[in-house]
């Protein structure tokens, strides 16, 4: 091979390699997009936000309004989880572009950033409203647990962005979660009046006493263990809701259960519970009162929060509050005839 021909082949090889490199990098993200704020100006305006709207496929939506004293979930008329809302707004203000992605609308579903009016939309739209401006963003799928795909509403360009923003458009997920939080160490007495089965009382004489005494055990029966009733003291510890609705009288034939939790300091929390239909959800209503003056302010605070509301709670928490006496007792001895 002549030197001239070798040089010619070298030039052609370099050209081919250059063309291949251009093809490979043609659709790749442009480096200058990295680090840019996805919603510029939002961080500086966070204190001015008056409304946050969340929407998704199928018409699912939640609106969180800034009231005179607190944030309210409009669809429930109930206080919002301000910690969760604050995190969402801060994450949105800090959201930065990692890389540019598709501008082609037919490819949006792959990233979950199509318009949420689409029946099969995979993402959620967020509108953050201030008196001066509204920021609107569609948050799509998670990329790697740290980033997410997003697209500013009415813009073609989609982005890979960080940090990961998680959005739930269900109203129940934005409610202030805690109904009441009564620490087990404070409980001195629990009076159970179940809708079915016998009533009973568990109590202890002093704070720090290890085991509760159970009053109301039928003759011939015994506790399954000395500490059988101890867990009942934690039934109202960090009690959280699944959903909430305005309190209305339950259906006429509904079996109601009551449990009254009393503390050493004179606070009493009365819980009324029922199941909404056969196999339905469990609801409770809560009232509080004080048997000692020092418990008055706490009782008033609880009532201000819970009055007029019926709370849906998980089934297992309902069973903890309204524990049947049979759950504390040892099994009956078996008197069947011995087999030969």
pLDDT single digits (tens) 160-191: 999 999 999 999 999 999 999 999 999 999 99
Average pLDDT of the chain to the nearest whole number: 89
Average pLDDT over every residue of 3-11: 44
- Please check the confidence at residue 151 and state whether its pLDDT lies above 90: yes
Q: Apex CA 221: angle with CA 218 and CA 226, to 5°? A: 110
The confidence score (pLDDT) of residue 332 equals 85
The confidence score (pLDDT) of residue 116 equals 95
Contact by Cβ (8 Å): 264, 188: yes
Could you report the per-residue pLDDT of 183-229, keeping only the tens digit for each?
999 999 999 999 988 999 999 999 989 899 999 999 999 999 999 99
Say which residue, 332 or 86, is predicted with more confidence: 86
Q: In angstroms, how far is CA 63 from the centroid of its own chain?
A: 16
Nearest one of 161, 171, 147, 146 to 84, comparing CA atoms: 171
What pairing do the DSSP bridges indicate for beta strands 71-73 and 282-290? unpaired
Say which residue, 307 or 253, is predicted with more confidence: 307
- Please check the confidence at residue 24 and state whether its pLDDT lies above 90: no
335 band by pLDDT with thresholds 50, 70 and 90: low
14 band by pLDDT with thresholds 50, 70 and 90: very low
Could you report the per-residue pLDDT of 79-129, keeping only the tens digit for each?
999 999 999 999 999 999 999 999 999 999 999 999 999 888 999 999 999
Could you report the per-residue pLDDT of 265-293, keeping only the tens digit for each?
999 999 999 998 777 899 999 999 999 99
- Please check the confidence at residue 155 and state whether its pLDDT lies above 90: yes
- For residue 289, the tally of other CB atoms under 10 A from its CB is 17
Contact by Cβ (8 Å): 175, 83: no
Torsion, Cα 170 175 179 183, to 10 degrees, reads 100
325 band by pLDDT with thresholds 50, 70 and 90: very high
Whole-number percent of the chain with pLDDT over 70: 88
């Amino acid at each position: 091979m002549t030197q001239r021909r070798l040089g010619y082949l070298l030039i052609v090889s370099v050209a081919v390699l250059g063309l291949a490199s251009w093809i490979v990098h043609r659709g790749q993200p442009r480096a200058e997009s990295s680090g840019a704020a996805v919603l510029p100006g939002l961080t500086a305006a966070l204190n001015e936000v008056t409304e946050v709207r969340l929407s998704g496929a199928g018409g699912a939506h939640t609106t969180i309004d800034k009231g005179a004293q607190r944030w309210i979930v409009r669809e429930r008329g109930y206080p919002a989880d301000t910690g969760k809302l604050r995190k969402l707004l801060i994450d949105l203000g800090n959201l930065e572009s990692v890389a540019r992605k598709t501008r082609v609308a037919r490819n949006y579903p792959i990233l979950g950033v199509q318009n949420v009016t689409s029946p099969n939309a995979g993402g959620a739209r967020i509108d953050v409203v201030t008196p001066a401006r509204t920021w609107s963003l569609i948050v799509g799928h998670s990329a790697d647990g740290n980033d997410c795909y997003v697209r500013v509403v009415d813009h073609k360009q989609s982005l890979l962005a960080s940090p990961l923003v998680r959005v739930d458009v269900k109203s129940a997920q934005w409610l202030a979660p805690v109904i009441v939080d009564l620490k087990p160490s404070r409980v001195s007495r629990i009076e159970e009046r179940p809708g079915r089965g016998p009533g009973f009382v568990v109590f202890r004489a002093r704070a720090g006493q290890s085991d509760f005494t159970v009053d109301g055990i039928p003759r011939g029966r015994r506790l399954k263990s000395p500490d059988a009733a101890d867990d009942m003291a934690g039934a109202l510890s960090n009690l959280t809701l699944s959903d909430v609705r305005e309190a209305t009288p339950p259906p006429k034939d509904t079996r109601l259960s009551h449990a009254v939790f009393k503390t050493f300091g004179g606070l009493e929390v009365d819980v009324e519970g029922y199941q909404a239909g056969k196999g339905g959800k469990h609801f409770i209503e809560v009232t509080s009162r004080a048997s000692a003056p020092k418990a008055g302010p706490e009782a008033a605070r609880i009532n201000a929060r819970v009055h007029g509301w019926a709370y849906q709670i998980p089934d297992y928490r309902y069973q903890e509050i309204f524990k049947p006496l049979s759950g504390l007792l040892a099994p009956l001895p078996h008197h069947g005839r011995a087999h030969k």
